[in-house]
Amino acid sequence: MLLAKAAVYGVSVQKLMVESALSSVAEVAADNAATRAEVIANLFNTQRFLASIANNVNQIARATNASGELPLEMRDDLRMSLRRSRDAVRHLEGFIRDFQGVER
């Protein structure tokens, strides 16, 4: 395997091993830190999205419970909350697909 990999890069096995040992540790650490920062940022954004959506849904539920029906003026809020929920789920699905594709 080492011979094949060295041939792909046009270097000796010894050079491949030295370069791999010296460069991959720093690259892996940098990749891991960047991935971790991206995951944290996405989770934070998701938390904010969900909190905002939950707040809208709570307001709609409170008004609906008080009157027994969904007030006409809140229907747009409900549509917006549902749209934002679907958008957040699509965003998360894309992020998960991208994250799973990251080589580890």
Instruction: Quote the pLDDT of residue 79.
Output: 86
- Residue 33 is predicted with a pLDDT of 73
Residues 6+ apart with CB under 8 A from 75: none
Whether 102 shows a pLDDT value over 70: the answer reads no
Q: pTM above the 0.85 mark?
A: no
pLDDT (tens digit, 9 = 90+) per residue, 20-74? 777 766 666 666 777 778 888 888 888 888 888 888 888 888 888 888 888 888 8
